[in-house]
């Protein structure tokens, strides 16, 4: 049996921390490693005991630090950690600020519990889970605004298709199915996109190319 996926919850609502932690505890596949009410507590605790996935609230009620700034600081501290924003906000600016800070996913708190579990699995597998309405906003942002990054970097038609699929939060297998190619081919396209853009992950690639 594989080790459980470890999760940390960062949210200023004690009820939410307790509810999510209790729900995750009902599944052997997951383990709630820790929970914090503030960004300061989270940064201190996670540095000592990092989980696989952090569920981060955007609107932390702490003077001078919100969830997005916490993500940015956390990614500097632990570059490989996966952070999924868990929020009530559908505001485009908050979405793109969170992605630019290094978040790997963006879910609304009204998601059904089973969708949260699916999102955790997806982000661990290399995906970028997003609520449907959030994904639509991301797609519309680069459908309606010409990518400014194109002035400096030329991507092939297929590389751009793959990058757009990454921006929608699709996992590699989903991209392969959508484009009718193998996962190996998808990985090659992604590697070339990363090399051309001089980035290391999907979030950096999407933000840099589309200037969102």
| E strand or H helix that includes residue 198 | none
Report, at the CATH architecture level, how domain 145-210 is classified. Orthogonal Bundle (1.10)
Rounded to an integer, what distance in angstroms lies between the CA atom of residue 94 and that of residue 4?
31
CA 9 to chain centre: 14
Whether the full predicted model's pTM is greater than 0.75, yes or no, is no
The pLDDT value given to residue 151: 46
Kindly report the number of other CB atoms within 10 A of residue 49's CB atom.
Answer: 10
Domains of the chain, by residue range, sit at: 5-131, 145-210
Across the chain, what does the average pLDDT equal? 83
Higher pLDDT, 148 or 207: 207
Question: Per CATH, which fold does 5-131 belong to?
Answer: Rossmann fold (3.40.50)
pLDDT single digits (tens) 38-90: 988 999 999 999 999 999 998 876 655 688 889 989 988 898 899 999 888 77
Percent of the chain predicted with pLDDT > 70 = 86
Using the 8-state DSSP alphabet, how is residue 3 labeled? P
pLDDT at 164: 83
- Position 144 scores a pLDDT of 54
Given this model, what pLDDT does residue 62 score? 62
pLDDT-derived band at 212, boundaries 50, 70, 90: very low
Of 208, 181, 52, nearest in space to 126 by CA: 52
């Amino acid at each position: 049996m594989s080790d459980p996926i470890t999760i940390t919850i960062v949210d200023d609502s004690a009820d939410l921390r307790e509810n999510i932690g209790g729900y995750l505890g009902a599944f052997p596949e997951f383990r709630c490693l820790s929970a914090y009410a503030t960004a300061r507590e989270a940064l201190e605790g996670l540095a000592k005991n990092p989980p696989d996935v952090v569920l981060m609230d955007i609107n932390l009620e702490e003077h001078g630090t919100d969830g997005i700034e916490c993500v940015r600081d956390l990614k500097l501290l632990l570059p490989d950690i996966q952070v999924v924003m868990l929020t009530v906000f559908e505001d485009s600016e908050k979405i793109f600020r969170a992605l630019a800070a290094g978040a790997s996913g963006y879910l609304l708190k009204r998601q059904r519990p089973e969708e949260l579990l699916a999102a955790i699995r997806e982000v661990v597998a290399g995906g970028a889970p997003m609520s449907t309405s959030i994904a639509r906003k991301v797609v519309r942002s680069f459908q309606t605004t010409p990518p400014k990054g194109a002035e400096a970097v030329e991507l092939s038609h297929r590389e751009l298709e793959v990058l757009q699929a990454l921006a929608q939060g699709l996992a590699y297998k989903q991209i392969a199915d959508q484009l009718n190619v193998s996962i190996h081919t998808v990985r090659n396209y992604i590697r070339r996109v990363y090399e051309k853009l001089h980035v290391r992950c999907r979030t950096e690639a999407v933000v840099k190319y589309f200037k969102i």
